[in-house]
Amino acid sequence: MREIISVTTDKRETLVDITEQVRRVVSASGIADGVVSVYAQGATAAVMIQENWDESVQTDVVNFLRKIIPKGVWLHDRQDGNGDSHLKAGLVGPSETVPIIDGALGLSTWQNIFLCEFDGPRSERHIVCTVISDN
């Protein structure tokens, strides 16, 4: 089963919690055991599993990536000013795979799934969720 989640982002760089949307896709699939692949379409977005307790970790991720990959110093900036966005998305990666255990996401208590926006704000980002049964 495959479903596309649409997300709106409101900042240039932010992590958006998409766990509940992915959980709904898994539930609708009816699959008890397997995996769900969560894939961000677009060369300036990524997917990350990270702590969900408060926003400090997400803020730290954004601040860390800004520090190691600054804006405005890359060759690609000559085209459209977002060279850093491409590098950040490439470093984090476009997808995560999460086990499905007894019909639920196999995340720990402190883990959630985040869309990483590095070139927003965007009126629409697409995340492809592909649910695969292990039967």
* 19, 123 contact by CB (below 8 A): no
Q: What is the pLDDT along the chain (135 residues), one digit of tens a residue?
A: 999 999 999 999 999 999 999 999 999 999 999 999 999 999 999 999 999 898 999 999 999 999 999 999 999 989 999 999 999 999 999 999 999 999 999 999 999 999 999 999 999 999 999 999 997
Enclosing H/E stretch for 61:
helix 56-68
* pLDDT value of residue 90: 98
Q: Delimit the domains of the chain by residue range.
A: 2-133
Q: Is the dihedral of CA 76, 78, 63, 37 positive or negative?
A: negative
* pLDDT value of residue 32: 97
The strand pair at 95-101 and 34-40 is best described as antiparallel
* pLDDT value of residue 135: 79
Give me 94's structure tokens.
């476009």
| CATH superfamily of domain region 2-133 | YjbQ-like (2.60.120.460)
Helix crossing, 83-92 with 56-68: angle to 10°? 120
Contacts of residue 5, Cβ cutoff 8 Å, sequence gap at least 6:
18, 21, 22, 25, 126, 127, 129
* pLDDT value of residue 134: 93
Q: What angle do CA 17, 53, 71 make, to 5 degrees?
A: 55
* 119, 76 contact by CB (below 8 A): no
Number of neighbours of residue 19 by Cβ within 10 angstroms:
17
* pLDDT value of residue 37: 98
